[in-house]
A and B are shown apart, each in its own frame.
Chain A
């Protein structure tokens, strides 16, 4: 899918502009260069506004302004109107869709805020030779350019740096879920659950006992939903609190006082370490729990296993095992000199040799094999019980070691907070006291999240047990059993789909992990400093330093931007969507030499994808231009005319 044209009319500083990016397969890059304030970011906003009605790239000080071009609005007479319009033409090899969003302003006074605004969006599609209005524009857009994954195709390079700054785990998880498009399964799961409830309700009035349980079941489901909403709310609050703390940390880090910066840097490293240690400790606790579950039954059976082994060995020593019955019987035949069939075997010859061979073979009889196997199995079980103390010890040692380090680092963090809070500067003191407040808020939230999780788990168990009771009740009569069969089929489908969803997300996580690693390690200029990029099962992303530690918290802004670019490229590739990619300030945070490296390598990962890069002159240097030139299909330049409050799009000239 490519953008064939973007037409802007009275949209912010664009009075009347049409941009046609390159649609060439090989020269798939379009560069739009412009100084700060020329309207690069507003081009991104025009795209997302037209498609989804949102302007996520708007700076906070511009949010209050009208979308309408102010010069054009000022020229209007009272009661005159003005259209703000953005049209995007999209398609694979030729325009197939036109997305058209229009906002109509009627001037009611000198102040723009009194204007009356009406908005509409239509999507036209090419039906052979005619353009027709699509009946389901939202569904169509969800199929061709869904909003929930659009952030991985239209993004601001400078803000990417923030992606891996704070609480990236939630962001990575959300990105993976969005890109996995498991919404299809989610829709089906939600509807199956609703259907299951309806079927249960249809059995109301058939048995008083079942009705009582059903009432409890519905109440429990409502409570479970409430607990889950509460948990989600707490998780959102936690993410926001962490974001605020990170913002304060950044301000303190940039403080002019050298010692404050040093302490702030130390605190950031310590906080990162503490988080890592806390995660490791909870993983170790989980390992210990699963070891207990795994070894529990074997340990319980250990005395019986030991007794069995002793008995078998004793019988081997006394010759009771392996059984000699068959051997004894054949010996008796040889001694008697007469086979069971009556053949004379007293003298040497083939018949006697046959029996002797049988005698030899009998020592490997089936019974003996079974005994050997049994003895071996008993030995293995015995050995496995021996593994437990070693495993438990190892995990225990790690937990103790982590707790000690955690305490030491925690004490130092408190110490730093105390030192920083004693500084005279009003601003630093204010930031520090805000930080302390947010930190304690975060701790409280973590505690509440723990409790809320417990509550959700408890409710889930209660719900499952009530479902079981209801099922047993319905099974008591044939009529009810038919209802239960339908509920059972729904339940089985829900369980199976849920499992498939988990597997798919997990598989996609692994693919994205491998691709992010591949791209990041080739983009980064410090070859050999970082050796791995991991996204674990809890969606924690880590960049492994050659020393073995997670270096994510210590990456520079440029390195973080490269990591985010790699992650985005991986998401784009895995999603299966062939979107056009638009990146604002892609090289903004990256310094000279690495910039050249990215300019050369990035096009390789975006082969066949239409890419539009909005760059400043500092980004689009001669060197970058030279490296990208084989892939550039079009170069444009933005020029802002302040007197007319408008931006013009011109052909680029170096």
Chain B
């Protein structure tokens, strides 16, 4: 196929290699995989999908963090 899989792969690899917390890294990878596999026509549904992904990756201790 003609799609630029190399660049998509490069982006995902960069995220894997990035020095960020695991929850941020996993969240980013899931978001990008969603973007790669979903056509733009499905975009109205993105908000629910993004929120689900976000809530999945929030660390429980962070949610209950106190000031």
Q: A: which residues have CB within 8 A of B?
A: 1, 92, 136, 138-140, 142-145, 180-182, 184-185, 187-188, 191-192, 194-195, 198, 475-478, 481-482, 485-486, 488-490, 492-493, 496-497, 499-500, 503-504, 575-579
10 sample A-B contacts, Cβ–Cβ < 8 Å, listed by A number: A136-B41, A145-B2, A182-B11, A191-B47, A475-B67, A476-B67, A478-B64, A496-B18, A496-B24, A504-B10
B50-63 interface mask toward A, CB cutoff 8 Å, 1 = contact, 0 = none?
11001101110011
Min CB–CB distance A500 → chain B (angstroms): 5
Name the residue among B7, B14, B59, B67 with the largest chain A CB count within 10 angstroms: B7
Contact A478 B66 (CB under 8 A): yes
- Chain A, Cβ-Cβ closest to B19: A496
Given A138-B40, A185-B11, A478-B64, also A496-B4 (CB < 8 A)? no
User: Which B residue's beta carbon lies closest to that of A483?
Assistant: B63
| B58 contact from A180, A489, A497, A577, Cβ within 8 A | A489
Assess the A579–B2 pair: CB atoms within 8 A.
Answer: yes
Q: A187-B35, A475-B65 are in contact. List 10 more A-B contacts (CB 8 A).
A: A143-B1, A184-B8, A195-B51, A195-B54, A478-B64, A481-B65, A488-B62, A489-B57, A504-B7, A578-B2
Give the chain B neighbours of A138 by CB distance below 8 A: 40-41
Query: Which A residues are CB-close (under 8 A) to B6?
Result: 576
Q: Are B3 and A198 in contact (CB under 8 A)?
A: no
Shortest CB–CB separation between residue B12 and chain A, in angstroms?
10
Q: Are A576 and B1 in contact (CB under 8 A)?
A: no
A residues within 8 A CB of B54? 195, 486, 489-490
In the complex, what residue of chain B is closest to A494 when comparing beta carbons? B28
Q: Total interface residues on B, using CB and 8 Å?
A: 41
A576 contacts B23, C-beta separation under 8 Å? no
Q: Is there contact, CB below 8 Å, between B39 and A577?
A: no
Given A492-B21, A492-B24, A496-B24, check contact A195 B4 (CB 8 Å). Answer: no
Please tell me if the beta carbons of B47 and A195 are within 8 angstroms of each other in the complex: yes
Q: Which of chain B's residues 19-38 have a Cβ closer than 8 Å to chain A?
A: 20-21, 23-24, 27-28, 31-32, 35-36
How far does the alpha carbon of A136 sit from the alpha carbon of B39 in the complex, in Å?
8
The reply to whether B15 and A577 contact each other, CB–CB distance below 8 Å, is no
Q: How far is the CB of B2 from chain A (nearest CB, A)?
A: 4
Q: Could you tell me if B14 and A503 are in contact, using CB atoms closer than 8 angstroms?
A: yes
Instruction: Give chain A nearest CB distance to B41 CB in angstroms.
Output: 5
CB distance from A470 to the nearest CB of B (A): 14
Q: Are B24 and A139 in contact, CB atoms less than 8 angstroms apart?
A: no
Q: Is the CB of B7 within 8 A of A139?
A: no
Q: Are A481 and B35 in contact (CB under 8 A)?
A: no
Nearest neighbor of B46 in chain A, beta-carbon distance: A191
| A497–B51 CA distance with the chains assembled, in angstroms | 18
Given known A492-B20, A578-B2, contact A139–B39 (CB-CB < 8 A) = yes
A577-B50 contact given A475-B67, A492-B24, A503-B14, CB 8 Å threshold:
no
Residue of A nearest to B65 (CB): A481
A194 contact from B39, B47, B67, Cβ within 8 A: B47
> What is the bound-complex CA distance between A108 and B63, given in angstroms?
68
Report if A184-B32 is in contact (Cβ < 8 Å); known contacts: A481-B64, A496-B24, A576-B7: yes
Q: Contacting A143 at CB < 8 Å: which of B3, B20, B35, B41?
A: B3
Chain A residues whose CB sits within 8 angstroms of the CB of B7 once the complex forms: 180-181, 504, 575-576
**How far does the alpha carbon of A489 sit from the alpha carbon of B20 in the complex, in Å?**
11
- The residue that B47 contacts in the complex, of A182, A198, A477, A500, with Cβ under 8 A, is A198
- Interface class of chain A by DSSP: helix
A439 to chain B, nearest CB (A): 41
Contact assessment for A482 and B63 in the assembled complex, using a CB-CB cutoff below 8 Å: yes
Q: Please tell me if the beta carbons of A481 and B66 are within 8 angstroms of each other in the complex.
A: yes
Residue contact B2 to A496, C-beta cutoff 8 Å: no
Residues of the A chain whose Cβ atoms lie less than 8 Å from the Cβ of B50: 191-192, 195
* Contact call A496/B40, Cβ cutoff below 8 A: no
Closest B residue to A183 by beta carbon equals: B35
Given contacts A188-B35, A486-B58, A493-B31, is CB(A500)–CB(B2) below 8 Å?
Answer: no
- In the complex, what residues of B have CB within 8 A of residue A504's CB? 7, 10-11, 14
CB distance from B6 to the nearest CB of A (A): 4
User: Given the complex of chains A and B, what is the CA–CA distance between A182 and B2 in angstroms?
Assistant: 16
Decide if A576 touches B64 in the complex (CB within 8 Å).
no
Are A485 and B65 within 8 A (Cβ)?
A: yes
**Residue of B with least CB distance to A507:** B10
Residues from chain B with a CB closer than 8 A to the CB of A578 are 2
Closest chain B CB from A493 CB (angstroms): 5
Name which residue of chain A comes closest to B25, CB basis: A496
Task: Give A490 to B11 CA distance when docked, in angstroms.
Answer: 18
Contact A500 B64 (CB under 8 A): no
Contact, CB under 8 Å: B11 / A500: yes
Contact (Cβ within 8 A) B55 A486: yes
CB-based closest 9 A-B pairs: A576-B4, A139-B39, A1-B2, A576-B6, A485-B62, A475-B67, A482-B63, A492-B24, A136-B39
**Nearest chain A CB to B20's CB is how many angstroms away?**
5
Residue of B nearest to A500 (CB): B14
Least distance between B51 CB and chain A CB atoms (Å): 7
Identity of the chain B residue whose Cβ is nearest the Cβ of A92 in the assembled complex: B1
A500 contacts which chain B residues (CB < 8 A)?
11, 14-15, 18
- Partner pick for A489 among B15, B23, B32, B47, CB 8 A cutoff: B23
How many angstroms between the C-alpha atoms of A35 and B20 in the bound complex? 60
Shortest Cβ distance from residue B40 to the other chain A in the assembled complex, whole angstroms: 5
CB–CB B66/A493 < 8 A: no
Min CB distance B60 to A, Å, is 10
A145 to B3, CA, bound (A): 8
Complex contact A142–B40 (CB within 8 A): yes
CB distance from B32 to the nearest CB of A (A): 6
The chain A residue with its CB closest to the CB of B15 is: A500
* B contact residues around A575 at 8 Å (CB): 4, 7
**Nearest CB in chain B: distance from A497 CB, A:** 6
| Bound CA–CA A475/B58 (angstroms) | 16
CA distance A188 to B28 in the complex (A): 9
Select from chain B the residue with minimum beta-carbon distance to A476: B67
Asked if B5 and A576 sit within 8 Å, CB to CB, the answer is: yes
Task: Give the nearest-CB partner of B61 in chain A.
Answer: A485
Q: A180-B7, A181-B7 are in contact. Are A497 and B28 (CB under 8 A)?
A: yes
Q: Do B31 and A144 touch (CB < 8 A)? A: no
B23 to chain A, nearest CB (A): 7
Chain B residue, CB-CB nearest to A187: B35
**Chain A nearest CB: distance from B45 CB in Å?**
11
Closest chain B residue to A480 by CB distance? B67
